[in-house]
Amino acid sequence: MQEKPRTRKGRRPTMVDVAREAGVALRTVSRVVNDDATVGAELVERVRSAIAALDYRPDERARHLRLGVTGTLGAAVRQLSHVNPVLRAVERAARAAGLMVLAASTEDDEKIERHVVESMCRRRFDGILLEPIGADHGYLVPELAAGLSLVAVDRPVLGLEVDCVLSDNVAGIETAFAHLVAHGHRRIAYIGDDERIYTAQERATAFRACLRAQGGAADAMIHTGPIQRERIHHALESALSGPDPATAVITGNATLSVETVRWFRDHADDVAIVGFDDSELATLLRPDLTVVAQDDAAIGDTAITMLRTRIADPATPVRKVTVPVTLQARGSGETPPKRT
Amino acid sequence: MQEKPRTRKGRRPTMVDVAREAGVALRTVSRVVNDDATVGAELVERVRSAIAALDYRPDERARHLRLGVTGTLGAAVRQLSHVNPVLRAVERAARAAGLMVLAASTEDDEKIERHVVESMCRRRFDGILLEPIGADHGYLVPELAAGLSLVAVDRPVLGLEVDCVLSDNVAGIETAFAHLVAHGHRRIAYIGDDERIYTAQERATAFRACLRAQGGAADAMIHTGPIQRERIHHALESALSGPDPATAVITGNATLSVETVRWFRDHADDVAIVGFDDSELATLLRPDLTVVAQDDAAIGDTAITMLRTRIADPATPVRKVTVPVTLQARGSGETPPKRT
DNA sequence: CGGTATCGGGATAACGTTATCTCAATCGGC
DNA sequence: GCCGATTGAGATAACGTTATCCCGATACCG
In three-state secondary structure terms, A325 is strand
- The Cα-based distances of B195 to B106, B166, B201, B204, B252 in angstroms read 20, 17, 4, 7, 11
pLDDT over 60 (residue A8): no
Report whether B59 contacts A65 (CB < 8 A): yes
User: Using a CB-CB distance cutoff of 8 angstroms, which residues of chain B are in contact with residue A103?
Assistant: 80, 102-104
Task: Count the helices and strands in chain A (H runs, E runs).
Answer: 12, 12
Q: What is the arithmetic mean of pLDDT over A146-159? A: 90
pLDDT digits (tens, 9 = 90+) for A284-330: 777 789 999 999 899 999 999 999 999 999 999 999 999 999 999 99
Neighbouring C-beta atoms of residue B286, cutoff 10 Å: 14
Reported as a pLDDT band with limits 50, 70 and 90, residue B1 is: very low
Q: What is the pLDDT of residue A220?
A: 76
Q: What is the pLDDT of residue A217?
A: 63
Cβ-based neighbours of A190, under 8 Å, separated by 6 or more: A204, A207, A221, A222, A223, A224, A249, A250, A251, A252
Q: What is the pLDDT of residue A83?
A: 54
In three-state secondary structure terms, B211 is helix
Instruction: Give a three-class secondary structure readout of A252-275.
Output: CCHHHHHHHHHHHHHHCCCCEEEE
Residue of B12, B65, B143 with shortest CB distance to A62: B65
Report whether B225 contacts B256 (CB < 8 A): no
Report whether B168 contacts B318 (CB < 8 A): no
Superfamily name with CATH number, domain A70-166+297-323: Response regulator (3.40.50.2300)
Spans of all domains in chain B: 15-58, 70-167+297-323, 169-294
Q: What is the arithmetic mean of pLDDT over B166-191? A: 95
B7: distance to nearest CA of chain A, Å? 11
Where in B247-297 does DSSP place strands (E)? 248-251, 272-276, 290-294
Q: What is the pLDDT of residue B4?
A: 44
Which nucleotide is closest to the Cα of B22 by its C1'? D9
Is A83 near chain B, with CB under 8 Å? yes
Cβ-based neighbours of B146, under 8 Å, separated by 6 or more: A12, A55, A57
Q: What is the pLDDT of residue A327?
A: 97
Cβ-based neighbours of B239, under 8 Å, separated by 6 or more: B189, B191, B220, B221, B223, B245, B246, B249
Neighbouring C-beta atoms of residue A51, cutoff 10 Å: 21
- β-bridge partners, B189: B249
Residue A295 CA distance to nucleotide D16 C1' (Å): 44
Task: Tell me, yes or no, if the two domains B70-167+297-323 and B169-294 fold the same way.
Answer: yes
Give residues 131 to 170 of B whose Cβ lies within 8 Å of A.
142-143, 145-147
Q: Establish, for the pair of chains A and B, how many residue pairs have beta carbons separated by less than 8 Å.
A: 132
B238, containing H or E segment: helix B229-239
Report whether A177 contacts A115 (CB < 8 A): no
Q: What is the arithmetic mean of pLDDT over A30-37? A: 85
A169-295: CATH number? 3.40.50.2300
Q: What is the pLDDT of residue B3?
A: 46
Query: Rounded to 5 degrees, what angle do the CA atoms A269, A270, A275 make?
Result: 85
DSSP string of B10-39, one letter each residue: TS---HHHHHHHHTS-HHHHHHHHTT-TTS
User: Using a CB-CB distance cutoff of 8 angstroms, which residues of chain A are in contact with residue B91?
Assistant: 80, 104-105
Lowest mean pLDDT among A181-195, B162-176, B217-231, B317-331: B217-231
B15-58: CATH number? 1.10.260.40
Cβ-based neighbours of B228, under 8 Å, separated by 6 or more: none
- The Cα-based distances of B338 to A56, B22, B246, B248, B332 in angstroms read 65, 83, 10, 9, 13
pLDDT over 90 (residue B162): yes
In three-state secondary structure terms, A218 is coil
Give me the percent of chain A exceeding a pLDDT of 70. 94
Classify strands A325-328 and B72-77 as parallel, antiparallel or unpaired: unpaired
Q: What is the pLDDT of residue A3?
A: 46
Whether residue B103 and residue A103 make contact (CB cut-off 8 A), yes or no, is yes
User: Using a CB-CB distance cutoff of 8 angstroms, which residues of chain A are in contact with residue B64?
Assistant: 61
Half-sphere exposure of B167 (CA within 13 A, CB side): 25
Report whether B168 contacts B322 (CB < 8 A): yes
Residue A68 CA distance to nucleotide D24 C1' (Å): 33
Q: What is the pLDDT of residue B127?
A: 92
Report whether B46 contacts B28 (CB < 8 A): no
Cβ-based neighbours of A95, under 8 Å, separated by 6 or more: A101, B112
Is pLDDT larger for residue B320 or for residue B21? B320
* φ, ψ (nearest 5 deg) of residue A207: -65, -40
User: Which among B19, B21, B16 has a CA at the least distance from the CA of B6?
Assistant: B21
In angstroms, rounded to a whole number, what is the distance separating the alpha carbons of residues A157 and A151?
A: 9
pLDDT digits (tens, 9 = 90+) for B28-87: 888 888 888 777 778 888 888 889 888 888 999 999 999 888 888 888 888 775 556 788
Residue of A61, A122, A145 with shortest CB distance to B65: A61
Is A184 near chain B, with CB under 8 Å? no
- So what CATH class is B169-294? alpha beta
Choices 3.40.50.720, 3.40.50.2300, 3.30.750.200, 3.40.50.1360: CATH for B70-167+297-323: 3.40.50.2300
Reported as a pLDDT band with limits 50, 70 and 90, residue B2 is: very low
In angstroms, rounded to a whole number, what is the distance separating the alpha carbons of residues A263 and A265?
A: 5
Q: What is the pLDDT of residue B218?
A: 67
- Find how far residue A35's CA is from the centre of its chain: 36
Report whether A220 contacts A238 (CB < 8 A): yes
B313, containing H or E segment: none
User: Using a CB-CB distance cutoff of 8 angstroms, which residues of chain B are in contact with residue A74?
Assistant: 102
